[in-house]
Structure formats: C-alpha cells, structure tokens
Amino acid sequence: MIKVGIIGSTGYAGQELVRLLLGHKEAEIIWYGSRSYIDKKYYEVFGNMFEIVDAKCLDDNMEELASKADVIFTATPQGLCASLVNEDILSKVKIVDLSADFRIKDVSVYEKWYGIEHKSPEYIEEAVYGLCEINREDIKGKRLVANPGCYTTCSILSLYPLVKEGVIDPNSIIIDAKSGTSGAGRGAKINNLYCEVNENIKAYGVTSHRHTPEIEEQLGYACGKEILLNFTPHLVPMNRGILVTAYGNLTKKYTYEEIKAIYDKYYREEYFIRVLDKDVCPETRWVEGSNYVDVNFKIDERTGRIVVMGALDNLVKGAAGQAVQNMNLIFGLPETMGLELAPMFP
C-alpha cells in the first residue's frame, strides 16, 4: 500500500483527495493535515465522512510526515510547499504539489504574477509539470510534480492539439473561462458569500490573472516559441465546474474532418479526454464529480477562426483527480486507478 499524507486536507481540493483516495485500492491515508483544525476529528469538519474517517487532523509538519509517508499531497496556498520542501524531505518521499509553486519555470515570472518570493527556486527545474496526457513519461518515478490548476488544465488540453500542429496562430488565442465558486477555495471571503455570488456572474483578474503565464508557457512548449494570449476568468454561481471557450485564427482553411482527425490523433487513446460528437458543446454538468475532460470545436468559416470548448470538474481533473493520476504514474500503477468514476447527474 502507498502511504499517503495530505497537507491541507480540509480545503475543497484536500477533501476531494480524501474522497478519491478512500476508494483507491493501493493507497492508505495516514496523515490528514490541517492548520485550522488540529486535533479535531476529520468527520467533524466534513460530516459526509462520519463513520468513514475517524482520524484526527494533524499539523503540516512535512519533516515528520516525510519519514512516514510514500507520497505527500500539498493542497495548500501558494508559497507554503516551497517554504517547507528541502533535500532531506525529497530524498525520502514523493511530493505532488497542488499549488503553483513549481509550475512556472521562470522564478521571476512566478514572483511577478503571484506577488511572493519563491522560497526554494533550486527545485523548479527538477519539478515536472503534471499534465498527465502531455507529460506522462516525464512524470513516471519523479519525486516532485507540479499539479496543474483547473483553468490551465482545461485551457491547455482544449487547445493543445491545434497549437502543436500549427493549426492556429498561438498569438491570436483568446480564452474566456468560467468557474464554479469552489475554485476560489474554502476560506471566508466577502466576495464568495452566498448573497455576493448568487444570481450573478462577473469577470475578475482581467488581463492580470495569475494562470495566464502558466497557460502561455505550456502552449509555448507545444508550438516551440514564446506566445502571448488573452485569458479572462469569470465566477458563476455553481459549486463545481470549469467551462472554457477559446478562440484562435486558423492558419489556413480546414474542414471539420481535418480538425477532428487532429484531435483524434492526440486524444483517441486518452481515457479521460472525450472529444464529443460534431456540434455537441461541452457542459459542466456532464463531467461533474469525474476526472473527465470534454472538448469540442466549431469552425467559423465566415471569420477564419475556430472556437474551441472544454469542460471539467475543477476539484477532480482540475485538482485532486489529476493529483491522484500523477501519483499513479509516479508509482507505476494503472493511470486510471481510483478514478474510473462516471460523472454525477443531477
């Protein structure tokens, strides 16, 4: 059994990790970390775990945990994992970090967009960007994996085949994305209160959202050059889900069949990526509670552009599910283990 420690187990992504790992036949959670609820029983924080998890919440002592666990998930705010990790810890345990601390390779870009000093830049180059469908071979056996975020996972996977094959001008990309409120975390914030969010939709982080450089960097690798794009997120009054609608200028005239063949080339064998039937638009309700990503596209012959759409559950494929997928790859397990869950509806 893989002994698992979770630092940040009482956030939304942390609780989703617990839910998924409880059903994983090769994993055992030995550490429910939470600064806010130390010594409180886990089921007292999340009532859905009553008579399922009787363990108490512990602190975020990564040094102690590294001596007990095989893998540590850090579902924590930006900066915490980087402040805790060191060579002694990495020599003992694998780490899957759900924050952005090791996603961006240029430390100056990270510090500019996140507004904090990086505490362990010496590990940035070693860290593997954990987008499994693209970096699968690089993830296997590694000791430090940077788990991508929800907006970035949906945006990159939706656009990757087109950028990789030169179908669109990458500098023409505009990404319009929408997220459920769980994407903002479980902390008490006025802007996330029910009366503030309900019956409302709003853009935020316009031209300045910190996932922008992450998307640019990864799609830049796909096309072999630095790119600039527009990314605008929106908050919508639902619990879960990411919906991305992206636009790009086609480099020449393409038929539906040609574009579909490109998506099939990259995703036909991918268990968790579903390229939908022609003219079917992805919807968040059809991926909720699952590790699936639904993608599709529509060619706009009038403008010479293509409209690309993607949907995923921000807490599963956008966070915890992808982290478990990374764990499976690290330890040589079947990639889908513990994640073969059909989406929930309603």
Active site residues: 150
Give the DSSP letter of residue 168: B
Q: Is 297 helix (H, G, I), strand (E, B) or coil?
A: strand
CA of residue 48 relative to chain centroid, distance: 24
Alpha carbon distance 204, 197 (integer Å): 13
Residue 337 tokens read as: 């283990």
Residues 150-185, buried b or exposed e (16+ Cβ, 10 A)? bbbbbbbbbbbbbbbbebbebebbebebbbbbbbbe
Sequence-ordered strand ranges (E) for 37-143: 71-74, 94-97, 128-129
Whole-angstrom Cα distance, residue 24 to residue 110? Answer: 34
Strands (E), the chain: 2-7, 27-33, 71-74, 94-97, 128-129, 144-146, 174-179, 202-203, 230-235, 242-249, 273-275, 293-300, 305-312
For 140, other C-beta atoms within 10 Å of its C-beta total 15
Q: Is 172 helix (H, G, I), strand (E, B) or coil?
A: helix
Tokens encoding 316: 């599963």
Contact 13, 75 (CB under 8 A): yes
Contacts with 306 (C-beta within 8 Å, 6 or more apart), sequence order: 162, 167, 168, 247, 248, 250, 254, 259, 297, 298, 299, 300
* DSSP conformational letter for 282: P
